[in-house]
Each structure stands twice: as C-alpha cells, then as structure tokens.
Amino acid sequence: MTVHMRHRRIRRADRGSVSVEMAVIVLPLAAVMAVFAIFCTRLAVVRLDLNAAAAAAARAASMARTPQAATAAAVEAAHQNLAGHRRTCDPLEVAVDGTDYRRGGRIAVTITCRMSTAGLTGLGLPGTLTGSATAHAVIDTHRAVSLGSTGSRGRSGPS
C-alpha cells in the first residue's frame, strides 16, 4: 500500500511539466514556422506578379510597330502592371529581345526586380531579394511592322 501511494505522489509532482515544455520549446518553434509559411506564400505571390508583369510587357511589345516602340511599350507595361500589384522594385530592369522583330516573329521580355524583404515577412526584416521572369509573345502577322528602313514607307513584308 505504501508503494502504491508513493507512486501516486510522484505522478502528482510531474503535473504541469508538459505545459512548461510547450511554452518554452513548441510555441516559439510554431511561431517561426508560421512566419516561414507566410514568407513562402508571399514569395510565391511575388513570383506570380513578376510573371504577369513580364507577360503584359511582352504583349505590349508585340503590339508596337517598331523595335524602339516595343522597348518603350514593354517598360511602360511592366511598370504599370507591378504598380497595379503594389510591387516596388529598386531597380526594375526590362530587357527586350527583338532580334526576331518581324511579322509572325517572336519577342522576348525579361524583367528583373530587386525588392525589400521587409514586406514579405511582415516583420520588417532587412535585406533584399532579386527575382526575374521572362515571357514571349508572337508579333501579329496582320500588323504593319516597321524596321526603320526608309524605302518601305514604314512597312515590311508583302503589302
């Protein structure tokens, strides 16, 4: 009978120790995991926004009549698209590959964005993150395209 009573007393002395372990170890670990999950989710959204901006820039460039206008249209479309998603890049670089700029040709736009990581975690952590995205678009086959030559009156290809 004394052994049985002693065993009960030991069990009562251990009460509450799991709660202390939870507070000291598990809860901070869960908080770190939650912040990491938020960071990963926001990072995925940023990647989607960069891809959307590159696609909008490529589409705008494919609608332009000259390679110079295509570059200007791509830069403007990328800025507008990222501003619409409340993304600020410092700097935003837009590279337009118009080597195949002709009717039915392809144009490629690559945007590179360096942004602060403060908004990604919600904690205001310092640092920067660089992301890039590339999109391609086909230049309309029914659109007059000027390659800058003076003899074709602003048109290329069959009239």
pLDDT tens, residue order, the chain (159 aa): 555 555 555 566 666 566 777 778 888 899 889 988 988 888 899 899 999 999 999 999 999 888 899 999 999 999 999 988 888 888 889 999 988 888 888 999 999 999 887 777 777 778 888 899 999 999 887 776 666 544 333 333 343
Domain with 81, as residue range(s), is 2-138
Is residue 17 situated within a structural domain? Answer: yes
Nearest Cα neighbor of 94 from 115, 108, 105 is 108
Which secondary-structure segment (H or E) carries 97? strand 92-97
Is residue 51 situated within a structural domain? Answer: yes
Answer positive or negative: Cα dihedral of 5, 10, 11, 13: positive
Residue owning tokens 């990963």: 40
Is residue 153 situated within a structural domain? Answer: no
Is residue 122 situated within a structural domain? Answer: yes
Asked whether the beta carbons of 148 and 64 are under 8 A apart, the reply is no
Contacts 24+ apart (CB under 8 A), 20-25: none
Is residue 144 situated within a structural domain? Answer: no
Is residue 19 situated within a structural domain? Answer: yes
Report field, pTM of the whole predicted structure over 0.75:
no
Q: How many domains does the chain have?
A: 1
Name the residue type at position 24: V
